């Protein structure tokens, strides 16, 4: 007989999921009510308003997709892209490649703009791609590349799209609630995110928002959206503004309790305060890592405070170190992905996990494990460097 | 400022979600761990084994899709159906219509076999459709129609598909764990379900299983699956048997804790015992409803024990009754769907909600509300009829 599962209490400092607050876990386990219950419909309205705040948008079509971020990505592509379209896709990490897959599975053509992993998207290359492909009607890019820890200039990229009469599809899975994101001010058109990063909610839900321009394109489609589940014209009937909600699919009721609570916590803290907290903890972590003798993989001006890519020192066994952190310290950090596997670690400081306690705990554990592994580091230098940073604030 | 949400404790006796056991809610809120954590990979293996038991299958490709039942349906269609295919789709309620949408969005042709809502799928009509369409390579049908409360003969339908060299796609959203379902014995090929019905888990996850014949069709596809998120060749890399799990998307970790616990509870009770419990409570409810003077909408031999469609008495206001049950008794029952809106109620007795306590509570509340609404019913007859049924067991 299989028995109940009791997970250990980990500290999640990888690329997500991040630590979930006890408040959010408490909300998650409240009694399930029906997805058409009038009280649930009120909750849906509150979630919409809270997501509009998080995204900094007044977009009417702002809602959580009932599936993980990959499905949110797919929702943006299948609704906005039609067969025969040309889409400029920026790739500077894993997720640009996934966008290309989405474009091609929509029967459209992906024009790739490639930058090195660890570098931001080049505005000049995107401008050149538009010049070469005046038929392109969509630009897709990742704001915060989870695979490398790099921030691209989303504001400038959205402006480039507008200047070329294209709509923008923006991956904000790792940026939402961690760094500045202004959907309306920047004129982003279709934006998706995830719950398990800087919102510090459980994984499984993907907040999305669509501009009026995006809605118009969806409404003027000649072909049906290839996905019934992700067809925004149908989803709108359930999440739309009218009092009468048309059943589309059964909403993930408890997951939405959790999302609501995580957004209430974000509102209580305030977006700006959350950004400052992410920055402070990031700088302290970097100070500690550099004092230890490690080096960051991304240039300072492009670093994401919520996801810190660190070069693995020569001669150190990547998997050994991560296993030791997990088994001896209950601490999860992330491996490198794709071309960076074995070369970098990704240390997340996302949402609830972005705390002084976690910065100091991670430095302590990493120092202990690297020392044990025989790495040449500056023992005992990391903690004072990080603490000095905190006390200096 | 938006504040935390505290739902009331409802009794969920609609078409789903059904009541979730406190054990499952407790599992749901355990600390989140990473989706690549070795302990999580063990949990995934256990879930796979438990789902194989629930589905009565040895299919290697048995796993929970990270999204609701509608996405499970779509996963079966987009992986098995290619552009130009002909699919025979049986429709005797809402969900056959959704299958047609799925077929057409795959670029295939749907040959519809229609039966009246409230009737099972006609085997003769399906046989005739195969005779008329020898090119059909797939048969799709709903085992337990959630919109009407009707059971169709899944075993015979799967055999018809096999006899005609077609694969079967079977909707078991409402049947899994409520009535007999033998995937291997019946030779069903692609089967999807939901968590929020007779498993009494939270909504949001869709268990699926694919036969070897289905896997071979997926592997021999000429075109990529149009959905990246639901592409089984990619999902297999994460859920497959090898020790090395390739990251596809971030699994809904906490939801899978809940699914695991609900499946552990099912294993503890035993499938056969669960079926007997659903039958006993169904017969008691029907005895009570009929003693009250109400009539069932479906002939006895086709009724689902877990979903009881009741004719709304003449002159009774559907919405008033359901609102009164919800507001005064915290009891949710279901409205009619589609052509049955305003004509029937759907009373669910699913999973954890299928209990003597709920049968008696529902009859008591319904009698009180119908009396208040001035309906002509036999007052005080329902409870003794149901109780006699229980004590006679």
Each residue of A98-109: pLDDT tens digit? 999 999 999 999
Contact assignment for A8 to B39 by CB distance below 8 Å: yes
Query: If you write DSSP's letter for every residue of B62-124 in order, what string do you get?
Result: EEEESS-HHHHHHHHHHHH--TT-EEEEEESSHHHHHHHHHHHHTT-EEEEEE--TTSPPPHH
Which among B14, B71, B257 has the least Cβ separation from residue A229? B71
Contact assignment for B203 to A2 by CB distance below 8 Å: no
- Could you tell me the residue ranges of all domains in chain A? 22-268, 271-391
Query: If you write DSSP's letter for every residue of A3-72 in order, what string do you get?
Result: --------EEESSSSPPPPHHHHHHHTSPP--TT-HHHHHHHHHHHHHHHHHHT---SEEEEESS-HHHH
pLDDT given at position A241? 59
Rounded to a whole number of angstroms, the distance from the CA of A20 to the nearest CA of chain B is 7
pLDDT digit string, tens, across residues B23-72: 999 999 999 999 999 999 999 999 999 999 999 999 999 999 999 999 99
| Whether A10 contacts chain B with CB within 8 A | yes
CA–CA dist A365, B229 (Å, integer): 36
Which of the two residues, A245 and B174, has the higher pLDDT score?
B174
| Whether B332 contacts chain A with CB within 8 A | yes
Rounded to a whole number of angstroms, the distance from the CA of A225 to the nearest CA of chain B is 7
CA–CA dist A72, B12 (Å, integer): 30
Which among A4, A28, A267 has the least Cβ separation from residue B261? A4
The residues near A22 (Cβ < 8 Å, ≥ 6 apart) are none
Q: Is the pLDDT of residue A393 over 70?
A: no
Which among A104, A248, A252 has the least Cβ separation from residue B202? A252
The answer to whether the beta carbons of residues B78 and B205 sit under 8 Å apart is: no
In 3D space, the residue among B60, B95, B21, B58 whose CA is nearest the CA of residue B242 turns out to be B60
| Whether B225 contacts chain A with CB within 8 A | yes
pLDDT given at position B236? 86
The residues near A307 (Cβ < 8 Å, ≥ 6 apart) are A15, A144, A146, A149, A174, A346, A347, A348, A349, A350
Fold of A22-268: 3.40.640
Rounded to a whole number of angstroms, the distance from the CA of A150 to the nearest CA of chain B is 20
Which among A28, A46, A226 has the least Cβ separation from residue B2? A46
Which among A7, A49, A224 has the least Cβ separation from residue B33? A7
Rounded to an integer, the average pLDDT of A172-177 is 98
Sign of CA pseudo-dihedral B278, B279, B285, B289: positive
Rounded to a whole number of angstroms, the distance from the CA of A100 to the nearest CA of chain B is 10
pLDDT given at position B58? 98
Q: Is the pLDDT of residue A179 over 60?
A: yes
Report whether the peptide linkage leading into residue A17 is cis, meaning its omega lies within 30 degrees of zero: yes
Rounded to a whole number of angstroms, the distance from the CA of A236 to the nearest CA of chain B is 16
pLDDT given at position A216? 97
pLDDT digit string, tens, across residues A77-121: 999 999 999 999 999 999 999 999 999 999 999 999 999 999 999
Rounded to an integer, the average pLDDT of A268-281 is 98
Sign of CA pseudo-dihedral A206, A211, A217, A218: positive
Contact assignment for A250 to B12 by CB distance below 8 Å: no
ipTM of predicted complex: 0.97
Fold of B21-268: 3.40.640
- Write out residues 98-127 of A within 8 Å (CB-CB) of B: 98, 101-102, 104-106
In 3D space, the residue among A128, A91, A96, A95 whose CA is nearest the CA of residue A113 turns out to be A91
φ and ψ of A278, to 5 deg: -60, -40
In 3D space, the residue among A249, A286, A293, A298 whose CA is nearest the CA of residue A386 turns out to be A286
Phi-psi region of A75 (alpha: psi -120 to 50; beta: other; left: phi over 0): alpha
Chain A partners of B326 at a C-beta cutoff of 8 Å? 37-38
| Whether B338 contacts chain A with CB within 8 A | no
Query: If you write DSSP's letter for every residue of A275-344 in order, what string do you get?
Result: HHHHHHHHHHHHHHHHHHT--BSS-GGGBBTTEEEEEPPTT--HHHHHHHHHHHH-EEEEEP-GGGTTTE
3-state secondary structure at position A348: strand
Q: Given pLDDT bands bounded at 50, 70 and 90, which one contains residue A243?
A: low
Rounded to an integer, the average pLDDT of A339-346 is 93
Q: Which numeric CATH code is attached to B271-391?
A: 3.90.1150.10
Rounded to a whole number of angstroms, the distance from the CA of A305 to the nearest CA of chain B is 20
Contact assignment for A224 to B74 by CB distance below 8 Å: no
**Burial (CB count <10 Å: 0-12, 13-18, 19+), residue B73:** buried
CA–CA dist A336, A311 (Å, integer): 10
Report whether the peptide linkage leading into residue A317 is cis, meaning its omega lies within 30 degrees of zero: no
pLDDT given at position A242? 57
Strands A344-348 and A307-311: antiparallel
pLDDT given at position A392? 73
In the beta sheet, which residues pair with residue A90? Answer: A113
| Whether B387 contacts chain A with CB within 8 A | no
**Beta-carbon neighbour count of residue A374 at 10 Å?**
9
pLDDT digit string, tens, across residues A25-74: 999 999 999 999 999 999 999 999 999 999 999 999 999 999 999 999 99
3-state secondary structure at position A248: coil
Contact assignment for A253 to B203 by CB distance below 8 Å: yes
**Beta-carbon neighbour count of residue A159 at 10 Å?**
15
Percent of chain A scored above 70 by pLDDT?
99
Q: Given pLDDT bands bounded at 50, 70 and 90, which one contains residue A245?
A: confident
Question: What Cα–Cα distance (Å) separates residue B72 from each residue in A73, B173, B231, B236?
Answer: 18, 9, 11, 15
In 3D space, the residue among B191, B184, B332, B353 whose CA is nearest the CA of residue B262 turns out to be B353
**Beta-carbon neighbour count of residue A58 at 10 Å?**
12
In 3D space, the residue among B206, B1, B46 whose CA is nearest the CA of residue A50 turns out to be B1
Chain B partners of A29 at a C-beta cutoff of 8 Å? 25-26, 28-29
The answer to whether the beta carbons of residues A119 and A150 sit under 8 Å apart is: yes
Rounded to a whole number of angstroms, the distance from the CA of B228 to the nearest CA of chain A is 6
| Whether B244 contacts chain A with CB within 8 A | no
In the beta sheet, which residues pair with residue B150? Answer: B145, B303
The answer to whether the beta carbons of residues B265 and B24 sit under 8 Å apart is: yes
CA–CA dist A231, A250 (Å, integer): 15
- Which residues of chain B are under the pLDDT cut of 50? none
Chain A partners of B337 at a C-beta cutoff of 8 Å? 247
- Token readout for B96 is 């056959």
**Beta-carbon neighbour count of residue B41 at 10 Å?**
16
pLDDT given at position A386? 96
| Whether A338 contacts chain B with CB within 8 A | no
């Amino acid at each position: 007989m299989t028995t109940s599962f009791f997970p250990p209490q980990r500290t999640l400092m990888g690329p997500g999921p991040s630590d979930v607050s006890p408040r959010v876990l408490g909300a998650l386990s409240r009694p399930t009510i029906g997805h058409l219950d009038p009280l649930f419909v009120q909750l849906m309205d509150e979630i919409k308003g809270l997501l509009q705040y998080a995204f900094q948008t007044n977009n009417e079509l702002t809602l959580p997709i009932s599936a993980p971020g990959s499905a949110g990505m797919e929702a943006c592509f299948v609704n906005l892209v039609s067969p025969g379209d040309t889409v400029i896709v920026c790739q500077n990490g894993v997720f640009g490649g996934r966008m290309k897959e989405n474009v091609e599975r929509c029967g459209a053509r992906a024009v790739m703009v490639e930058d090195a992993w660890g570098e931001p998207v080049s505005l000049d290359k995107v401008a050149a791609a538009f010049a070469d492909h005046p038929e392109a009607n969509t630009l897709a890019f990742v704001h915060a590349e989870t695979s490398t820890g790099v921030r691209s200039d989303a504001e400038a990229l959205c402006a480039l799209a507008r200047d070329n009469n294209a709509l923008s599809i923006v991956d904000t899975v790792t940026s939402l609630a961690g760094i500045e994101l202004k959907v309306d001010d920047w004129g982003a058109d279709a934006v998706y995110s995830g719950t398990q990063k800087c919102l510090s909610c459980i994984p499984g839900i993907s907040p999305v928002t669509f501009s009026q321009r995006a809605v118009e394109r969806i409404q003027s489609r000649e072909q049906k959206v290839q996905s019934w589940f992700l067809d925004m014209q149908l989803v709108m009937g359930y999440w739309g503004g009218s009092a009468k909600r048309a059943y589309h699919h059964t909403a993930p009721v408890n997951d939405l309790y959790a999302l609501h609570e995580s957004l209430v916590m974000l509102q209580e803290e305030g977006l700006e305060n959350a950004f400052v907290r992410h920055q402070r903890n990031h700088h302290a972590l970097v100070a500690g890592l550099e004092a230890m003798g490690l080096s960051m993989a991304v240039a300072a001006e492009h670093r994401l405070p919520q996801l810190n890519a660190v070069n693995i020192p020569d001669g150190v066994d990547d998997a050994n170190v991560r296993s030791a952190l997990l088994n001896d310290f209950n601490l999860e950090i992330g491996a490198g992905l794709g071309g960076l596997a074995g070369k970098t670690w990704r240390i997340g400081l996302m949402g609830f996990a972005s705390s002084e306690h976690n910065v100091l705990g991670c430095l302590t554990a990493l120092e202990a494990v690297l020392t044990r592994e025989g790495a040449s580091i500056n023992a005992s230098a990391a903690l004072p460097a990080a603490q000095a940073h905190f006390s200096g604030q």
